[in-house]
Amino acid sequence: MADVWQTAMDHAVGAARRAGQVVREALQDDRKVMTKSSSVDLVTQTDQKVEQLIIQSVKEKFPTHRFIGEESVAAGESCVLTDAPTWIIDPIDGTTNFVHAFPFVAVSIGFSVNKQVEFGVVFSCLEDKMFTARRGKGAFCNGEPLQVSDQEDIKQSIIATEFGSSRDPDAVDRIFSSLRNVLCIPVHGVRGAGTAAINMCLVASGCVEAYYEIGIHVWDIAAGSLIVSEAGGVLMDVDGGPLDLMSRRIVAANSRTIAERIVREIDAFGPPRDDEPLRR
């Protein structure tokens, strides 16, 4: 049976690759840095340019589709996930890395229909790694199949997480409390690429056993969530419930055992949801 979304996925891969070229070229220039929600929540003209390039290219082929783009939302667009075919775009995941030329920068494009992610594309543009997944058809990196780690013992595991962009002392205390709890399980190590999308691709690739974070947004995780699940991984909320793409909380792991063990250590809190009306 023909895959109705394959053409859209092929377009997403091409758009991500073209976007990655723009990012790489921009690294050669001075990057004008601006801020959003705080002095450490960075954005550049490249983020905005790349998002518009992707959106315009999609609109030409799929004029009825909808968009949730990080920089469009920052500029006032709504952030509501409907049943309509929706492109969920983070033009540069890892903007802080991009500004500092720290070599983990991704273009993330998720695509949902009826609020279910149908394909995910994450292009790690400085590594030249194109991660893709189509629902029910597996996950790949540059065309090679991906499989999560088979490690079942968390004490033999590496866990990925991030400190996030909040500098609110109470939120930081809870982030460090969770980090301390996880580290002292003990685990072999804790790592962070500085981008949720690449952290999730590391889970899908079997390089780390799990990734968790509170504070991410739907555009950070939509594509990566499918790449993890199609690589055999498990997704859940930090309270052990089902993953809610708009909740700003995630655990992505190689197995339910590891995911639930991490949930036990997380000092969970709930930032304002992505779809909360007064979120701006």
Ligand X SMILES: O=P(O)(O)OC[C@@]1(O)O[C@H](CO)[C@@H](O)[C@@H]1O
Q: Which entry of 47, 51, 71, 90 is annotated as an active-site residue?
A: 90
Applying CB under 6 A, does 213 fall inside the site for ligand X? yes
Residue placing its CB nearer to ligand X in the complex, 76 or 143? 76
Residue 87 and residue 67 in contact, taking contact as beta carbons nearer than 8 Å:
yes
Applying CB under 6 A, does 196 fall inside the site for ligand X? yes
Residue 68 contact partner, candidates Mg ion, ligand X, none, CB within 5 to 8 A by sort of partner:
none
Residue 68 and residue 219 in contact, taking contact as beta carbons nearer than 8 Å:
yes
Residues 6+ apart with CB under 8 A from 143: none
Q: Which entry of 93, 118, 213, 237 is annotated as an active-site residue?
A: 93
Applying CB under 6 A, does 274 fall inside the site for ligand X? no
Query: With contacts defined by CB under 5 A, how many residues of the chain interact with Mg ion?
Result: 5
- Helix/strand/coil percentages in the chain, nearest 5: 35, 25, 40
Applying CB under 6 A, does 220 fall inside the site for ligand X? yes
95 is catalytic: yes
Among 216, 226, 250, 253, binds ligand X (CB under 6 A): 216
Applying CB under 6 A, does 71 fall inside the site for ligand X? no
How many residues are there in the chain?
A: 280
Residue placing its CB nearer to ligand X in the complex, 105 or 259? 105
Applying CB under 5 A, does 90 fall inside the site for Mg ion? yes
> CA 1 to CA 136: how far, in whole Å?
13
Site string for ligand X, 124-163 (x = CB under 6 A): --------------------------------------xx
- Cα atoms in the 13 Å half-sphere on the side-chain side of 201: 29
> CA 93 to CA 220: how far, in whole Å?
7
> CA 94 to CA 108: how far, in whole Å?
10
Residue placing its CB nearer to ligand X in the complex, 171 or 257? 171
> CA 140 to CA 125: how far, in whole Å?
16
93 is catalytic: yes
Residue 87 and residue 109 in contact, taking contact as beta carbons nearer than 8 Å:
yes
162 is catalytic: no
Does the N-terminal peptide bond of residue 186 adopt cis geometry, omega within 30 degrees of 0? yes
Active site amino acids: 70, 90, 92-93, 95, 220
Query: Where on the chain is the footprint of ligand X (CB under 6 A)?
Result: 70, 90, 92-95, 162-165, 194-196, 213, 216, 220
